[in-house]
Structure 1
Amino acid sequence: MSGLNEWDRLGKVVYAESANQSEKIYSTWAKDYEKDVSVLKFVANDSLVKHSFDLIKNDESSLMLDLAAGTGITALAYKNAGYKGICDALEINAAMMEIAKQKGIYRNTICKGVTATDPVPVQQNSYDVVAISGAFLENHLPQGCVPYVVDVLTIGGLMIFNSRNTEHNANYQKILWEIIEGQVNQGRISLLRSVEAPYYEENCPESGKPMTARVAVYKRLK
């Protein structure tokens, strides 16, 4: 993706026409991903940690799943904030996962995708935290995976995620909230926190302003 600026390279995956196309672009972009998002002042993970760290179980027995882990910068943000527990990573893209492995912060790294119709391919009912940053958008994680994400949590475990507030993401987000609300209505989860927080601090081409996201924390009840 040479010859493109950082927003252009980001846009290639955000506006990809299919999940398969998105994954192929990530394979090419992986080596430059962290550099590019740093230039754009990507603060989504800092926001995620800021608005959830006081709620998580934080001791040596705590288990966190970094879902759609990318290059590992979400789990690293928790570790840098003082998270004492164990982290596993689940990521579909092998090139991104290879970079995540090199950080040395994960117990297990699993290179598989997540679907709207199958269980998340990890041990069920076992994680105290599932953290999802930057993946709840079109052609990334399907909204229908939410009940399966809840399944991997312990009772009392937390699903922590962000979803960017952009015009492009509005329809995806609408369906996402509907599915989450369905889980709430079934008594499976309850909302602990929901805030609007910074995502990219550089002005984005779509709005001409810094991008924000909804950061949410849900607790599994049953």
Structure 2
Amino acid sequence: MTWTILAASMLELLEAAVGTLRMTALAFLLAALLGLALAILRLAGGLAGRLAFLYIEIARGMPALTLLFLIYFGLAPLGIVLHAFPAAVVALGLNGAAYLAEVYRAGIQAVDPGQREAAQMLGLRRGQVMREITLPQALPIVLPPMGNYLVALLKDTSIASLISAPELMLRSRDLAGTYYLPMEYYLLAGAMYLVMAWPMMHGVRRLERHFARGRLQGGKT
């Protein structure tokens, strides 16, 4: 009987899993783009750099759940009402941007500054140096930690169930309450998260091995 109920619910859970993957992808895109902008601003210094640093420190010190509640519930009295799904994407993206900004900054600073100076001496503008010299070399450094962040983000989407955003954990909770099978549905949800996360984790490990091998070969030449 239990297996029949679980099998009948699989289509609903798979649809919810697709929602989880959509939320993860959109939040990651927002975090990656905003994080890069924050890293560049922080490295540029001045007022913009100080503001970027302040944002990064505040966002990193604030739980993602707090930010989610602030966006979903706190903005409503100001007349800004977001539905649950976009509110979750924005909250997770803003929270993740602070972490990725530090990843980008570390990758950019790891590039030999002499190359930037040589490019500027050849007449390249600062933006060109960043786009054509620095970022391509920083990319191998930042990709593995970005992959690790993506895996963590996939699991963090579960907090969106607290504002009834359509994703896997919310649907699992609803079905568990309907059929009084909490252990079964939560175990099934955990297995589905693992199935979704495993290719990402495998990809991260392959990236780490690939770039570690490249650095080793580069050190021998």
Same fold by TM-score greater than 0.5: no
With the shorter chain as reference, the TM-score category is under 0.3
Richer in helix (by share): 2
With the length of structure 1 as denominator, give the TM-score of the two structures. 0.25
Richer in strand (by share): 1
The higher radius of gyration belongs to: 2
